[in-house]
Chains A and B, each alone.
Chain A
């Protein structure tokens, strides 16, 4: 077996059986299981029974058609005095007292304990809708007519004439794509953080324990660098494959495949091109960060200093993550456009832009090209620097370390 394979195999074996890796993978699987079994979990944890809202209507008009009951709330009208109702109010009772003030509904919501915000918002929203119809009704329209007026929406269709960017994406597809990309962005961010930390501490601990000095007598720094990158990258692929396979299995075989149907419905809105680019950017970005991690790990003198070199690159990753987050609200900003071409953060931003905007596919290829070129250039630069840094022990901050390495190895 070649020295590269021995090194890679040993590193991979150590990491894949480590508690942190197993625990991390288990956590992903638990989240997937939770998502697949969400209907059952939700049913078990939360009360699905609709709550009764007692309505004391003192407007003189019939509001039964306006306050529409839902799965969560059933509006029950009573013909009693409000004082009687509030005197006998129970712990879980909700009472709505409605009067008319100058043609507008005025409501008072009574409950024994403060209502959860969600419940209060839902009831007030129903009331708001009822109020609009009530106001229209004052114009002597039927409730149905009033409803039609309030719910009238224009029939719209968007036609883009530029064929380069015309992806024929509906607003719904874009919206679904943005949320899928948000999940993808979070996964890429989590993978980057996990494997960046892992490779920095791996190289730093070998260097710090001086074991590297013994190793480098028999093997070239290039072999060591490549083996470490390959081992950690293989580990990332392993975790990705385990999560993917488990996800497919658990969604496919849970509840007669209903969960898979839901997933397919969600993913129906994104194209195979999107899937290709997302996967390519996920793999490319993780590889890019693993290369940077190996280089940064070689800069420190001991593993305790790993955080020192980790901070700057983590700041960049965090910036990318927050830019991606901002894109979920509006993916068409200039910041998102520019960020989708910056290699260190394009992995998180480009899938969002690809799904949520009408960007040209050529732009996606250009961004992927920039990422791949960056990987090659950074690999060559890191390798050259790694050879010099790996046996140089210096103190101080990141820049001081780089300066010392350049000084003593030039």
Chain B
């Protein structure tokens, strides 16, 4: 479906994207993560043909991305953009029509999404009078109102409260069900972890990893152990294979050198008795991101 091969974006004295390659399958949700200035937005803009690549190719179904119908694309920019003086419904209909929808179809979709995002009462309000969160919702609707085949969401969750985050998550999953291929970026790793099948981690324009989330996690193994026990932190630190202990409220999070040590630790802590909590899992994406992108991993 979407394929980036050795894509480079070079400015006079700066490389924003450095030989980036990844591919996405139809109907999947793909996360592009990285620190600020990692090259995510530049990558999005090159995919959307808003900027030219310096080197490399971007194709959609084997054809150059420049040649595809622009109405197949949807985009939510990181910096929020709406027409401040236009009314909510008016601007959604306008943007729908601009993306090739008939007035009737646009009206139906606007009604559907306005209801789903609980914006009924704001329908006739000017966009500039809405709260930040509601403006964000209007812009989100504008980005996928026309049922794009390929949707790019740049930081879609920023500025949304937990209730609205859930509304957006459900909307993203609904779009996926309908066959939309979604590429999105977020600094909130739990959202990426929850929604993405595959991902790419960028650091200063270079790809540190591109592939499935599970493969990424397997690289580190099940080394995160959560236990609730009467044993002290200093005693836990002395257990075999434990290289770090952290106490979070009434439980401990142990970082293991290898998941093989887990069984021995379980035996020590339980002593053959009932133990309230002993949970071994992969590192979270947040942990992996910090390890990969953090200062020591250059």
Contacts and interface: CB of A to CB of B under 8 A. Distances in A.
Interface of A: 1, 3, 6-7, 10, 14, 205-206, 209-219, 391, 407-408, 410
Contacts of B12: 407-408, 410
Nearest to A391: B50
Contacts of B211: none
A211 B85 CA distance: 12
Interface stretch (B76-84, B158-166, B182-190, B191-199): B76-84
B110 interface: no
Given A210-B81, A219-B70, 9 more contacts: A6-B94, A210-B80, A211-B82, A213-B79, A215-B98, A218-B71, A218-B99, A391-B45, A407-B12
Contact of A217 (B50, B79, B82, B97): B50
28 contacts: A3-B98, A6-B94, A14-B85, A205-B84, A206-B83, A209-B81, A209-B82, A209-B83, A210-B77, A210-B81, A211-B81, A213-B50, A213-B75, A213-B77, A213-B81, A214-B76, A214-B77, A214-B95, A214-B139, A214-B142, A214-B143, A215-B98, A217-B74, A218-B70, A218-B71, A218-B99, A219-B98, A408-B12
A218 B73 contact: yes
Nearest to A18: B85
Chain B interface size, as a band, is 20 to 34
A408 B16 CA distance: 11
Nearest to B83: A211
A143 B79 CA distance: 87
Interface in B100-153: 100, 139, 142-143
A346 to B, nearest CB: 36
A408 B11 contact: yes
- Of B12, B77, B86, most A-chain CB atoms within 10 Å: B77
A14 B86 CA distance: 9
Contacts of A214: 75-77, 81, 95, 139, 142-143
B210 interface: no
A210 B98 contact: no
A391 B41 CA distance: 12
Given A213-B77, A214-B95, A407 B11 contact: yes
Interface of B: 11-12, 45, 48, 50-51, 70-71, 73-77, 79-86, 94-95, 97-100, 139, 142-143
A7 B97 CA distance: 10
B70 A217 contact: yes
Contact of B51 (A206, A212, A391, A407): A391
What 5 pairs across the A-B complex have the smallest Cβ distances? A210-B81, A211-B81, A217-B75, A213-B77, A210-B79
A207 to B, nearest CB: 9
A1 B77 CA distance: 26
Tell me what chain A mostly uses at the interface: helix, strand, loop, or mixed. helix
Nearest to B94: A10
Nearest to A220: B70
Nearest to B86: A14
Contacts of B48: 217
Contacts of B71: 218
A206 B99 CA distance: 18
Nearest to B81: A210
Contacts of B11: 407-408
A212 B81 contact: yes
Contacts of A410: 12
A216 B98 CA distance: 10
A237 to B, nearest CB: 23
A218 B81 contact: no
Greatest chain B CB density within 10 A among A14, A215, A391 is at: A215
Given A213-B50, A391-B50, A408-B11, A218 B98 contact: yes
A6 B98 contact: yes
A57 B127 CA distance: 80
A215 B82 CA distance: 10
Nearest to B154: A213
A6 B75 contact: no
Contacts of B143: 214
A10 B98 CA distance: 11
Nearest to B52: A409
Given A211-B82, A218-B73, A7 B98 contact: yes
A255 to B, nearest CB: 43
A306 to B, nearest CB: 15
B114 to A, nearest CB: 18
A3 B143 CA distance: 17
Given A407-B11, A407-B12, A410-B12, A217 B83 contact: no
Nearest to B73: A217
Contacts of A219: 70, 98
B91 to A, nearest CB: 8
